[in-house]
Amino acid sequence: MTAVRDDLGLPVALPREVRRVVSLVPSLTESVAATAPELLAGATDWCSHPADLDVPRVRGTKNPDLAAITALRPDLVLANEEENRVPDLDALRAAGVPVWVTVVRTLDGALTSLRRMIGVALSRPEPAWLTSAARAWAAPAVPVERRAVVPVWRKPWMVAGRDTFAGDLLLRLGVRNIYAGHPERYPKIPLPELLASGPDLVVLPDEPYRFTPEDGPGFFPGVPAALVSGRHLTWYGPSLAEAPAVLSGALTRAR
């Protein structure tokens, strides 16, 4: 066994060779599938990429089937400190299952975390998609020209607040999140207060709440709305390589 530390600094006892991985995070599932697909032994019901992924499902990120995960006999479970619950991860550790937890708050942090996960936890060389993702975001950040609210839920209204990956991506593309200085990371803000904040843009992703042209822009009359792919705004994995072009296109159309 080899003792290494994850993004939280917690020790992870890895076998000499990791051969079976269960991923509890859609972004990380896609990352492993694009790097070493033979390793994937299980994933959540929400792991939608790649589209042809054919592995046992272990329920959701917030309610994983711990017995099913343990029965898959994984060498490693991949998790994220924001998406997965501490009691679930502690229960897996208590059952003798090594758990690697990622921490992602910024683009740079995501690239570093992915390199560590792939290189240290999985013992694989940096994949081409990760190199392409870093290259795609290497251009200087666009000067900030717009102030936006970024709802992530509607019943009740919740928005991206401080210290979020989505906020960092948008800032690099010239859009400042109005609630980036809020004490909470995903605060509940009533709609009248969102409107009173004076946004000149509202960014509406299609996950976790699925905003659509019929459900979202109408709540912000007179404010340009950018309907964006949640996978490109909030996922950290292979989608990062095309995210700058996809997001920039959606933001440009919202004028």
* Confidence label for 22 from pLDDT (cuts 50, 70 and 90): very high
Q: What are phi and psi of 229, to 5 degrees?
A: -75, 120
Q: DSSP state, 229?
A: -
Helices 26-35 and 128-136 pack at an angle, to 10 degrees, of 120
Domains observed in the chain:
2-126 (3.40.50.1980), 146-253 (3.40.50.1980)
Strands 201-205 and 146-149: parallel
- 199 contacts 149 by C-beta, under 8 angstroms: yes
Region label for 82, one of left (φ > 0), alpha (ψ between -120 and 50) or beta (otherwise): alpha
Instruction: Render pLDDT for 80-105 as a digit per residue (tens, 0 to 9).
Output: 999 999 999 999 999 999 999 999 99
Task: Write the pLDDT tens digit of every residue in 214-251.
Answer: 999 999 999 999 999 999 999 999 999 999 999 999 99
> What's the pLDDT score for residue 139?
87
